[in-house]
Chains A and B, each alone.
Chain A
Amino acid sequence: MKRRKLNKKVNLFLDSGAFSAWTQGVEIDVHDYIEFIKEHKDILEVYANLDVIGIGGKQPNRLTAERTLENQKIMEEAGLEPLPCFHFGEPFEFLQYYVENYDYVALGVAGNTGLKLVPWLNECFGQYICDGEGNPKVKVHGFAVTSLPVMLRYPWYSVDSTSWVLTSRMGSVYIPRYYNGKWVYDENSWKIAVSSRSPDKVDAGKHIDTLSPRQKQVVLDYVHNKGYKLGTSRFEKIAQTHEVKENERWAEKKPKDKTAKRLLEIIDEEGIANRYQLRDEMNIIYFQDLEKTMQEWPWPFKQKGVRGFVL
């Protein structure tokens, strides 16, 4: 079959989605996955092994590591070069095998976050991935590394994150720290709620409206610097029969009582406070800037304490 040449503007990383499949009790067939990759190989930059995360509802363990390695071999025998995957909870000898035999490996945190994750990653990088000088011997991809401190602490070659869009849909944007006239990305950035409908509006220090005047100005300077506006909205209780105009939207669910008034948002000026699409864009820009400011890979990993490590 002759394929039409695509005007490709993306570098696609395909993962199996094994974690989502596992949480939904669905099993992915390795041969179907192989077929799919073969069909799309020309538009994939990277494709991961079909990793086995949990068997019988259990967390990753020796059995899942063995099954994951089996899939790696099946895919390789089919002529593919999948990215091998090692998960939290699996015996480290599997990571050692991958580091010795591949030049790019993936670590899966399997839903683990917080202080449990840091000692595990310290062991992965400190004992297996990095040499005596702390330099990584192989490229490492971090699956679902959503925590900025974790992203910044280890010499990842690549990571993936859903937090850009989740943060935006929760009404927030990432804001880098600001020191001595510079935006600083190598510290834990702020996640500031800006949505006009955010439930965080009442919590001090979480919403732009509850920041100190100085902090608010820093946030606004960043927003304007990136070419965006905060935007303004008004809210009115209005009859449910009201015909919603282009700059309006309902701000609450339809009341059961048909005669009760319903809250309407009237957008006077569009901005990140009232358009999630614009928050999406700002968070994309944030991650692009973060990438640019990260030191070039490879860089040495230094073991640091985990005290005060906020995830």
Chain B
Amino acid sequence: MKVYLVSFPDDIPILKRLVKKRKEEILLSYFFLREGKPLRQVVDEISKEPKKEGSQ
């Protein structure tokens, strides 16, 4: 069973956390993608090599 973890497309830190932990299956909703950052840009940003996350 594949488990897609749901995230909001504009929450880049959360998406980066998923990628950092090598969680590849992610579900995003079109409803939240209509406004805000373009999806291509979101995917590009989260696919960059992760920097070590700061404490807060």
Contact = CB atoms under 8 A, between A and B. Distances in A.
Interface of A: 3, 6-18, 20-21, 26, 28, 32-33, 36, 40, 43, 144, 151, 156-162, 164-165, 246-247, 249, 270, 275, 277, 280-281, 284-285, 287-288, 290-291, 294, 297
Range of interface residues on B (Cβ < 8 Å): 35 or more
Most buried by A among B2, B34, B40, B44: B2
7 contacts: A7-B47, A9-B47, A10-B25, A16-B30, A43-B39, A275-B56, A287-B23
Contact of A157 (B2, B27, B39, B43): B2
A15 B30 contact: yes
A275 B17 CA distance: 13
B3 A159 contact: yes
A155 to B, nearest CB: 8
Which label, helix, strand, loop or mixed, suits the secondary structure of the A interface? mixed
A160 B30 contact: no
A9 B44 contact: no
Interface in B13-56: 13-15, 17-34, 39-40, 43-44, 46-48, 53, 55-56
Contacts of A43: 39-40, 43
Which label, helix, strand, loop or mixed, suits the secondary structure of the B interface? mixed
A299 to B, nearest CB: 9
B43 A291 contact: no
Contact of A11 (B7, B25, B39, B46): B25
Contacts of A7: 44, 47-48
B14 A280 contact: yes
Contacts of B46: 9-10
B1 A14 contact: no
Nearest to B20: A281
B43 A17 contact: no
Given A10-B24, A10-B43, A13-B25, A158 B5 contact: no
B5 A6 contact: no
A146 to B, nearest CB: 9
